[in-house]
Amino acid sequence: MEGRPGPRGRTRIALGVVALAMAIAPMPALANHQSGWTHDHSPSGVPYRPNGYSQLVQYFGQPCNGNANAGRSYWPSAASRGSWGYVNYHSKLVRNVGYNILGHYGYDHKYAASDYGVYGQLCRYIDGTTKWSAHAWGAAIDTNTARNPVGGSTWDGHGSDGKAYGSYIPQQWTGHNWQWGKAWNDPHHFQYVTGY
């Protein structure tokens, strides 16, 4: 029995074999984590978008109501650069935001395009006014706010990893029927209402 390893030796050999197998084996689960994902452009995936205050209230209800923050999803760089966090929005937008738009980020392997400052529902007025913000209905999302402050007229497309993603993020939001606040110098703002 002198040539055979003892229990400790066998454990070390087994661990070594497992480590080697993990190092050289392909990892399809990571590479294809969303291989079956397809976005949903049906009326539930991209719902009706209201126009103006009356339609906004008719579709989403009164500002700050219980459904305004009933939808939520876990977003990259929401809490801080590179840290994930929850973003809340109206329950009627769950499929559009949490499945379609966030799904694109994952499918395209571009979670890092999102940079610090991703915010959703907040019961507040538009700065300097007594007019409700679209955020009060949970019908607005701000993203990449640190790089794209209010008052800017351009989009800085650098992600949390410092790489340039160009207009990838605005394309995802506008491609799913969101209005881009860049038109009124609020480039980090996307809202699901027009004429307001």
153 pLDDT band (50/70/90 cuts)? very high
The pLDDT of residue 3 = 57
**pLDDT tens-digit map of 32-66:** 455 667 889 899 899 999 999 999 999 999 999 99
pLDDT, greater one: 68 or 7: 68
Span of 16-20, 134-138, 143-147, 166-170 with lowest mean pLDDT: 16-20
Residue 29: the pLDDT is 34
**What is the SS3 string spanning the chain?**
CCCCCCHHHHHHHHHHHHHHHHHHCCCHHHHCCCCCCCCCCCCCCCCCCCEHHHHHHHHHCCCCCHHHHCEEEEEEEEEECCEEEEEEECHHHHHHHHHHHHHHHHHCCCHHHCCCCCECCCCCECCCCCCECHHHHCCEEECCCCCCCCCCCCCCCECCCCCECCCHHHHHHHCCCCEEHHHHCCCCEEECCECC
**pLDDT at position 18 over 50:** no
pLDDT digits (tens, 9 = 90+) for 79-97: 899 899 999 999 999 999 9
Q: What is residue 14's predicted lDDT score, i.e. its pLDDT?
A: 46
pLDDT winner (highest mean) among 9-13, 29-33, 183-187:
183-187
Q: What is the pTM of this model?
A: 0.81
Q: Quick one: what percent of the chain has pLDDT higher than 90?
A: 78
